[in-house]
């Protein structure tokens, strides 16, 4: 009976245990699945792009917002215009490439972090995200140089970027962050990085990007994360704040360009320069083993090479190493807005602005590519070697974003061979069909082989969209080349200065060249005066007029006044050996630090009193203007004053000689005439007065450079 009773109890408990066991297994499995999903999203950073079309993804870029308490309209326009635009465009990512806040006082003399501007930035971005109906995780913002003004250490009390930015709020605290947009056939890798200086100085000596060796290593690792997989093709895009012309090499000499060329990224997206330097701030980079040292310092045209090599289709051919650098305009004044699309590996973009308010429609042709801004060698290789599926060429494609329903889209191709634009193709484009479409992709079949030509600008494409209200939107005419020939473009002189010159490498050569020139400027007249005893005087200048004789004459007059001449020589040595001035370079603390031509002398964080120089080559915006626009003009004006003094002395000697010749005249009359002549000479010293005005201008320039 006892055994039977225990058996009955055991049978009674068994169903309860069985239910508990199944419930426990379900809970464990659910937790495991959720953890697996979270791990996949956080570790791999992969976003599966849902909805059609599968062949194309698009993102939005904004830059240089410069939200300021002194200019509230920037943030107000951003909230009112960008949110609704994003809801229509529905991008897969929104990239904000630096200078989120302004950090400047109203008089523009003080540059440091202002928490009110950061609170405004967070509030406006929250509003934009709500209006756009996009997930917050799709927004990536970067720190610009304005966002690091006066921030001594990342994570310190005045590092408001870490607290108020989207990246900061989502815990993206690393200097390199990446996300992959994955479709059925393609992976699109976007890698953003923060290359602002680790010690954030105040402006204006905070102008350059300073990638460290560790950052370049991390960037290299992120860009190579899909290299080992082969089931899907990968397109790589990088984004940052600083153009490569304003990015310094690391301590080991490596550069961002080295990393980008190694991975053959399609494009590097950046900001920083605004539109005041030009609208054509684009630059093509290509590896060239035969480039000279001069070509490494200067690139004179948008395209790095002036020739196009024949495509090498052999199996063992080295990979093509090239990429585009596309700087975009600023929101601050230009209200610039960019949409970038990747269509089966083809990268294209359209820039527009919201100066006049919301755009009714925006059209982005995704194929054929603009021959001015395509990856020339890659496109030519893909076409000639047939390494891309023919279906990629068989349709004209364009994305159309409109506030109102679109009723028709027409593609037109023009032939410019005759000297005029002759219409050779006009075709209706059909909307890509598919369930749960993310956007409006329009396509039109065409015979692409009919448009093969050696000229990159023979054929031009224009697309027109008409909405339900009868409004028409036209794209600009774009040249295209099916077989990968590139249309060469040239920069204006301002565009060349900011994009074509590698300023980080040019700083020290320019500094020492300017300093040596000033020394020669002072020592050569002295040497001519002492050794060959070749004397330049006012009479010699009158007899043999010329710029060289004039300059040597008044510089020799400067040499004849030892106090002035030795004073200038001593000042030049002072600029090489001693601090230029002292000031506060951080928002917090009252410690004064000094600046030399090598940078700001900052005590290292180990507290052992060791000094390191930071802010080079950023200080060139102070050093070079001081040498060229203050020191050199001051030497010239000093020499001119001494030359004017010599002229006056010559006039006085001539007057005394004349006075001796007139001793037969009445003494009173002679004295009267002498007074009159002296007054005449005094009144004629207008040059001296003008030079004193120039001195005041130089002093004002010196004050502006120092502040």
Query: 654-706, pLDDT tens digit by residue?
Result: 666 666 556 555 554 444 444 444 444 444 566 666 766 777 776 766 665 55
pLDDT more than 90, % of the chain = 51
Residue 688: DSSP 8-state:
H
192 to 92, 236, 493: CA distances (angstroms): 15, 11, 30
Judged by DSSP in three states, 194 sits in coil
Give yes or no for a contact between 75 and 67, defined as CB atoms under 8 angstroms apart.
Answer: yes
Is the model's pLDDT at 40 over the cut of 80? no
* Entry pTM: 0.85
Confidence of residue 42 (pLDDT cuts 50, 70, 90): very low
Lowest mean pLDDT among 16-25, 284-293, 469-478: 16-25
Residues 6+ apart with CB under 8 A from 397: 56, 343, 365, 366, 367, 441, 442, 443
Buried b (16+ CB within 10 A) or exposed e, 286-310: bbeeeeeeeeeeebeebbbbeeeee
Lowest mean pLDDT among 43-52, 66-75, 100-109, 505-514: 43-52
Is the model's pLDDT at 627 over the cut of 70? yes
**293-315: pLDDT as tens digits:** 787 889 988 987 644 555 566 66
pLDDT for res 31:
38
365 to 9, 283, 495: CA distances (angstroms): 77, 21, 26
Question: CA–CA separation, 471 vs 477, rounded Å?
Answer: 19
Question: CA–CA separation, 520 vs 516, rounded Å?
Answer: 6
pLDDT for res 658:
62
Is the model's pLDDT at 423 over the cut of 80? yes
Confidence of residue 617 (pLDDT cuts 50, 70, 90): very high
Buried b (16+ CB within 10 A) or exposed e, 319-357: ebbbbbbbbbbbbbbbbbbbbbbbbbbbbbbbbbbbeee
Confidence of residue 381 (pLDDT cuts 50, 70, 90): low
Question: CA–CA separation, 216 vs 488, rounded Å?
Answer: 31
Give yes or no for a contact between 670 and 658, defined as CB atoms under 8 angstroms apart.
Answer: no
Buried b (16+ CB within 10 A) or exposed e, 39-70: eeeeeebebebeebbebbbbbbbbbbbbbbbe
Q: What is the 3-state secondary structure (H, E, C) of 439-507?
A: CCEEEEECCHHHHCCCCCCCEEEEEEEEECCCCEEECCCEEECCCCCCCCCECCHHHHHHHHECHHHHH
Average pLDDT over residues 274-302: 85
Question: CA–CA separation, 350 vs 52, rounded Å?
Answer: 21
Tell the residue number behind the tokens 């992709």, with chain if given: 441
Give the chain's length. Answer: 707
Q: Tally DSSP H helices, then E strands, for the chain.
A: 19, 24
pLDDT for res 413:
97
654 to 338, 575, 659: CA distances (angstroms): 73, 42, 9
Question: CA–CA separation, 408 vs 223, rounded Å?
Answer: 40
Domain 46-307+319-359+489-500 of CATH type 3.30.565.10: no
Is the model's pLDDT at 20 over the cut of 90? no
* Cα-based angle 44, 49, 51 (whole degrees, multiple of 5): 160
Average pLDDT over residues 325-340: 95
As a whole number of Å, the end-to-end CA separation of the chain is: 103
Output the CA torsion sign for 559, 562, 568, 570: positive
User: Element (H or E) spanning 603, and its range?
Assistant: strand 599-603
Question: CA–CA separation, 520 vs 478, rounded Å?
Answer: 53
Beta bridge partners of 188: 181, 235
Residues 6+ apart with CB under 8 A from 471: 360, 361, 404
Which has the higher per-residue pLDDT, 681 or 526?
Answer: 526
Question: CA–CA separation, 115 vs 696, rounded Å?
Answer: 38
pLDDT for res 605:
62
Which has the higher per-residue pLDDT, 359 or 700?
Answer: 359
* Parallel/antiparallel/unpaired status of strands 441-445 and 459-467: unpaired
Is the model's pLDDT at 212 over the cut of 70? yes
What is the chain's mean pLDDT, rounded?
Answer: 83
pLDDT for res 258:
95
Tell the residue number behind the tokens 């993310």, with chain if given: 438
The two structure tokens encoding residue 105:
């006082």
**156-175: pLDDT as tens digits:** 788 999 999 999 999 998 99
Average pLDDT over residues 32-49: 51
Residues 6+ apart with CB under 8 A from 416: 422, 457, 458, 459, 460
Hey, how many other C-beta atoms are within 10 angstroms of the C-beta on 496?
Answer: 19
Tell the residue number behind the tokens 């410690």, with chain if given: 591
Instruction: Region of 14 please: left (phi>0), alpha (psi -120 to 50) or beta.
Output: alpha
Give yes or no for a contact between 601 and 613, defined as CB atoms under 8 angstroms apart.
Answer: yes
Is the model's pLDDT at 6 over the cut of 50? no
Question: CA–CA separation, 375 vs 324, rounded Å?
Answer: 7
Question: CA–CA separation, 54 vs 566, rounded Å?
Answer: 75
Average pLDDT over residues 404-412: 95
Give the count of alpha carbons within 13 A of 314, CB side only: 5
pLDDT for res 527:
83
**113-156: pLDDT as tens digits:** 999 999 999 999 999 999 999 999 999 999 999 999 988 888 77
The two structure tokens encoding residue 358:
């919301």
pLDDT for res 158:
87
Confidence of residue 333 (pLDDT cuts 50, 70, 90): very high
456 to 8, 326, 346, 476: CA distances (angstroms): 91, 20, 17, 17
Measured in degrees and rounded to the nearest 5, phi and psi for residue 70 equal -90, -10
pLDDT for res 655:
64
Output the CA torsion sign for 519, 524, 529, 530: positive
Give the count of alpha carbons within 13 A of 354, CB side only: 25
* Domain ranges within the chain, ordered by starting residue: 46-307+319-359+489-500, 508-662+682-706
Is the model's pLDDT at 5 over the cut of 90? no
Lowest mean pLDDT among 7-11, 249-253, 460-464, 595-599: 7-11
Lowest mean pLDDT among 35-44, 333-342, 509-518, 554-563: 35-44
Lowest mean pLDDT among 210-224, 389-403, 641-655: 641-655
Give yes or no for a contact between 414 and 459, defined as CB atoms under 8 angstroms apart.
Answer: yes
**259-268: pLDDT as tens digits:** 999 999 999 9
């Amino acid at each position: 009976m006892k055994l039977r009773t225990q058996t009955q109890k055991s049978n009674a408990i068994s169903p309860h245990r069985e239910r508990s066991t199944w419930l426990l297994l379900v809970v464990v499995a659910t937790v495991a699945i959720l953890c697996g999903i979270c791990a996949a999203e956080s570790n791999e950073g992969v976003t599966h792009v849902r909805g059609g079309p599968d062949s194309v993804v698009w993102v939005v870029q904004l830059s240089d917002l410069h939200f300021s308490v002194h200019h509230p309209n920037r943030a107000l326009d951003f909230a009112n215009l960008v949110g609704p635009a994003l809801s229509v465009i529905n991008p897969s990512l929104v990239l904000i490439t630096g200078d989120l806040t302004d950090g400047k006082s109203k008089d523009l003399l003080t540059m440091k972090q202002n928490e009110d501007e950061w609170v405004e930035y967070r509030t406006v971005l929250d509003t934009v995200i709500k209006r756009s109906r996009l997930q917050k995780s799709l927004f990536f913002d970067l720190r610009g140089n304005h966002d690091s003004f006066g921030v001594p250490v990342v994570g310190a009390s005045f590092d408001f970027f870490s607290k108020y930015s989207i990246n900061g709020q989502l815990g993206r605290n690393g200097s390199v962050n990446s996300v992959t947009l994955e479709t059925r056939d393609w992976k699109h890798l976007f890698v953003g990085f923060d290359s602002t200086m680790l010690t954030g100085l105040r402006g204006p000596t905070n102008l350059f990007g300073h990638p460290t060796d560790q950052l370049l290593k991390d960037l290299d690792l992120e860009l190579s994360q899909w290299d080992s997989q082969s089931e899907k093709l990968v397109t790589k895009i990088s984004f940052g704040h600083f153009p490569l012309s304003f990015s310094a090499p690391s301590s080991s000499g490596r550069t961002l360009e080295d990393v980008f060329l190694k991975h053959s990224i399609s494009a590097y997206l950046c900001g920083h320069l605004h539109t005041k330097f030009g609208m054509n701030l684009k630059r093509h980079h290509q590896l060239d083993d035969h480039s000279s040292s001069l070509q490494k310092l200067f690139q004179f045209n948008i395209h790095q090479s002036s020739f196009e090599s024949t495509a090498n289709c052999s199996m063992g051919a080295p990979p093509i190493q090239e990429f585009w650098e596309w700087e975009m305009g600023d929101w601050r004044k230009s209200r610039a807005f960019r949409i970038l699309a990747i269509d089966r590996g083809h990268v294209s973009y359209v820039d527009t602005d919201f100066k006049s308010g919301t755009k009714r429609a925006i059209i982005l042709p995704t194929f054929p590519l603009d021959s001015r801004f395509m990856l020339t060698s890659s496109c030519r290789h893909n076409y000639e070697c047939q390494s891309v599926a023919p279906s990629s060429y068989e349709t004209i494609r364009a994305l159309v974003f409109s506030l109102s329903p679109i009723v028709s889209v027409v593609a037109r191709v023009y032939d410019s061979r005759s000297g005029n634009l002759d219409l050779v193709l006009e075709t209706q484009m059909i909307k890509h069909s598919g369930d749960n479409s993310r956007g409006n992709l329009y396509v039109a079949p065409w015979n692409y082989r009919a448009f093969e030509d050696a000229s990159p600008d023979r054929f031009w494409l224009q697309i027109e969209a008409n909405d339900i209200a009868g409004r028409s939107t036209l794209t600009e005419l774009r040249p295209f080349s099916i077989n990968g020939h590139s249309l060469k473009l040239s920069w204006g002189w301002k565009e060349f200065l900011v994009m074509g010159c590698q300023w980080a490498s040019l700083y020290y050569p320019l500094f020492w060249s300017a300093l040596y020139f000033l020394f020669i400027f002072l020592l050569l007249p002295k040497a001519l005066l002492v050794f060959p005893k070749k004397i330049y005087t006012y009479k010699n200048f009158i007899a043999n007029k010329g710029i060289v004789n004039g300059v040597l004459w008044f510089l020799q007059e400067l040499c004849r006044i030892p106090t002035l001449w030795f004073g200038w020589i001593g000042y030049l040595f002072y600029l090489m050996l001693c601090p230029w001035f002292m000031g506060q370079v951080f928002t917090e603390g009252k410690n004064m630090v000094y600046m030399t031509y090598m940078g700001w002398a900052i005590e290292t964080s180990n507290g052992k009193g060791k000094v390191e120089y930071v802010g080079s080559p950023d200080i060139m915006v102070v050093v070079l203007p001081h040498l060229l626009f203050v020191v050199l003009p001051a030497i010239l004006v000093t020499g001119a004053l001494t030359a004017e003094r010599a002229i006056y002395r010559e006039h006085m000697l001539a007057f005394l000689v004349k006075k001796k010749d007139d001793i037969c005249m009445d003494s009173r009359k002679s004295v009267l005439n002498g007074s009159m002549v002296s007054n005449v000479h005094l009144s004629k010293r207008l040059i001296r007065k003008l030079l004193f005005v120039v001195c005041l201008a130089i002093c004002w320039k010196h004050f502006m450079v120092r502040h």
